[in-house]
Amino acid sequence: MKKQILDTIAYSKKLIVSPDIDGLMSAMLLSKYNGSSVVGTYDKNLLVLADGIDPKDCLFVDCDMNSPDYVSIGNHMRLMEDNISVESFNPNTHYKVKQYNQKFPFATCFLLAFGIETQTSLSDNLCMAYADSTYKNKVNYAPNMQHWSMLMDCPEVQFVMNNDVQISVENHMAHMEGKQGFVSRRLGKEKYMAQMNQALKNQSAWSFAFPNELTRGYKYQTGLVDKTTCIRYNKDIISYAEVYGGEYSVTYKDEVEW
C-alpha cells in the first residue's frame, strides 16, 4: 500500500483539499514532505480555486474523485468498479473492501503519514486523532481499527491505538466546538470564498503553503441515490461516497448557480 500512496502523491504538488481538519492536516504533511501548496478546496460539490489553476493538474486530497481527469487520494467507501483515475488511491478499493462496516476507519492524513514517514509532533497527533473522529472510531469500531492498524503501522497510528487519547484530543481541539469543517456550505458564493480564504490564512497551527487567494468558485448538482443508480449514472458523477445503508452521496458534472 505504501508504494501506491507515494505514487499518487507524486502526481502533483498543487493540492485541492477538503476544507476540514483532515484536509488541512493532510496539506501540512505533504507540505513538509515535498513542498506542496494548497491551490484550492473541494467540499462535496463546492470547488474553489486560485487564478490560473486547472484541477486536472492538481492532486485532490481527502477527496474521492470519479473521473479519469482528476487524481485523488481519499478514504471514503467506493464501488469496486467506477470511473476513478488509475493514478488515484483509495485504501478500500486497494484492499477490495465491500462491507461498509469494514471500511478504512482512520482519517486520510493517517494514510499520508504512513506513506511519507515524516516526523509529527504531539499537537499534530492530537489534531490527526480528532480528524474524521478517528479517536472515537477506536472505541466504536475497535476490531476494525485494530485490523487496519496492522496494515498501516506508523507512529501516528500507534499514538491513537496505544493511548487513551479522548480527553487530550477534546481539550486540544476545544476551539473547534465539535466541528470538523471551517466554513459552512450554506453560505453564498462571495461570503463562502471570503471565509475560506481567511480560514486558510489562519494556518499557524497547520504550517502548510497557501501562496494565492482562491478567486473562482463553482457549485455542482448533488444527490443521495441507491447503489443501482450510482452504478447506472457513474460516468455522470465527478465524486461520490457510500454514506450508510447502501446509500451514496453523489456530485454530478452539472454545474448549478451559486
Q: What is the pLDDT of residue 203?
A: 78
Does this model's pTM top 0.75? yes
At residue 123, what are phi and psi to the nearest 5 degrees?
A: -60, -45
CA distance 107 to 114: 12
Q: What is the pLDDT of residue 204?
A: 65
14 to 42, 43, 64, 111, 240: CA distances (angstroms): 13, 17, 16, 18, 22
Q: What is the pLDDT of residue 240?
A: 96
Q: What is the pLDDT of residue 220?
A: 98
At residue 216, what are phi and psi to the nearest 5 degrees?
A: -120, 135
Grid cell in block for residue 63: 477527496
The one-digit pLDDT tens for each residue of the chain (258 residues) are: 999 999 999 999 999 999 999 999 999 999 999 999 999 999 999 999 999 999 999 999 999 999 999 999 999 999 999 999 999 999 999 999 999 999 999 999 999 999 999 899 999 999 999 999 999 999 989 999 999 999 999 999 999 999 999 999 999 888 887 789 999 999 999 999 999 999 999 876 678 889 899 999 999 999 999 999 999 999 999 999 999 878 999 999 999 999
What would the pLDDT profile of 13-53 be if each residue is shown by its tens digit?
Answer: 999 999 999 999 999 999 999 999 999 999 999 999 999 99
CA distance 133 to 176: 12
Sheet strands (E) in 96-236 = 214-226
